[in-house]
Amino acid sequence: MALGMERAGFLPVLLNDNDAHCIETLRINRPDWNVVYASVSELDFKPYAGFVDCVSGGFPCQAFSHAGKRLGFEDVRGTAFYDFARCIKETNTPVFVAENVKGLTTHDNGNTLVTILSVFEELGYTVQSQVLNANNYKTPQKRERVIIVGVRNDIKARFSYPKIAGGGYVLLDALRAGRLYKKDVAHCSHTGYTTVKRAVMELVPEGGNWRSLPPSVAAEYMGIAYHSGGGKTGVARRLAWQKPCPTLTTSPAQKLTEFCHPDETRPLTVNEYARVQTFPDNWIFSGSQNQQYKQIGNAIPVNFANAISKQIASFITKNKIANNEN
């Protein structure tokens, strides 16, 4: 998200995470950024009051105890969401944007989202929420996310979400774009397959999954899951060149979420993962191979973040509500 905002003209004044590898990644790539490694609950945002134009972030999707009532700001203490809301309150930012998984819309029968929006409203913001697909914003991946945008009530203007731009991006656009594919993307670190798994995946054609396997092979490979319900489309899945990549997870080779290369029998490499998330090729990820996959899989695609950020920047400029003119 920070990269997307940077490209839209924002200057980060504070970035926070409690994951040491994420912090190191930011410090390596942007040594001039103010990156703080701490629990968000420990941070004091009041020094930034009247200084920031936008607060952005994500927080874990968790149920709240409703008892049939909308909860207020003080009632969500002890949650990461509370600290995100506290940041908004203490900075008095004119605009904020929050990103979360699509499941937030149905989490706890929709009550979680109702609580979140009501807390933002209590803090003095006009709030909107909308599910957007990153594939509609120059990203070769189907990745649906809830984007919540709040505008302080004294600002008499309504924010409009970005229009669809650059739809139709597919895996081929990511993995064979830019620098030489074989040299810079495919031939880098990736997790491996066992001998048994490799033999199974060799039988799956481009764009196929477990349904492409002979029934006896699929039954043995999947075990009791073979007879369970659901489409299980991520099992023994081989990606397709001419389709968007499914939503990346924190690992390219899990039982239910396989991300096998379209041609080669191997998981996507770290660099390929980064390409699908539209990171620049020179972006360095800290930590072990597993940590790198995790960081990339958890990220907001850079192009997607940029589309949202440009819309926010335009809104701020058009309505002359910037706090930080520098």
Shared-domain flag, residues 143 and 19:
yes
Whether 154 and 181 share a structural domain: no
One domain for residues 183 and 313: no
Model confidence at 67, in pLDDT bands (50, 70, 90)? low
Name the band, by pLDDT with cuts 50, 70 and 90, for residue 179: very low
Residue 80 lies in a domain: yes
Supply the residues annotated as catalytic.
61
- The answer on 38 and 7 residing in a single domain is yes
| Region for residue 16 given its phi and psi (left: phi exceeds 0; alpha: psi -120 to 50; beta: otherwise) | beta
Domain count, the chain: 2
Quick one: 63 and 206 in the same domain?
Answer: no
Q: Confirm whether 111 is domain-assigned.
A: yes
Residues 6+ apart with CB under 8 A from 277: 139, 141, 248, 296, 297, 299, 301, 302
Output the domain CATH number for residue 190.
3.90.120.10
Task: Write out pLDDT tens, residues 144-160.
Answer: 999 999 999 999 899 99
Question: Dihedral of the CA atoms 26, 30, 31, 37 (nearest 10)?
Answer: -20
Residues in CB range of 292: below 8 A, 6 or more apart: 21, 189, 270, 273, 285, 286
Residues 203 and 112 placed together within one structural domain of the fold: no
Q: Are 49 and 78 within one domain?
A: yes
CATH classification of the domain holding 38: 3.40.50.150
**Does residue 150 share a domain with residue 10?**
yes
Q: Do 104 and 147 lie in a common domain?
A: yes
Listed in sequence order, the DSSP H helices in the chain are 2-7, 20-29, 80-91, 111-122, 171-175, 181, 195-201, 215-222, 270-276, 289-298, 302-318
Co-location of 159 and 28 in the same domain = yes
Residue 323 lies in a domain: no
pLDDT at 326 over 80: no
Residue 326 lies in a domain: no
112 within a domain of the structure (yes/no): yes
289 & 142 share domain: no
**177 band by pLDDT with thresholds 50, 70 and 90:** low
CA distance 271 to 283: 10
Give the predicted TM-score (pTM) of the model.
0.92
Both tokens of 136, joined, read 């509609």
The predicted-structure confidence for 106-138, as pLDDT tens digits, reads as follows 888 888 898 899 999 999 999 999 999 999 999
Please name the helix (run of DSSP H) or strand (run of DSSP E) that holds residue 77, with its range, or none: none
Residue 282: give the domain boundaries. Answer: 171-298
Q: Is residue 325 part of a domain?
A: no
Residues 90 and 224 in one domain: no
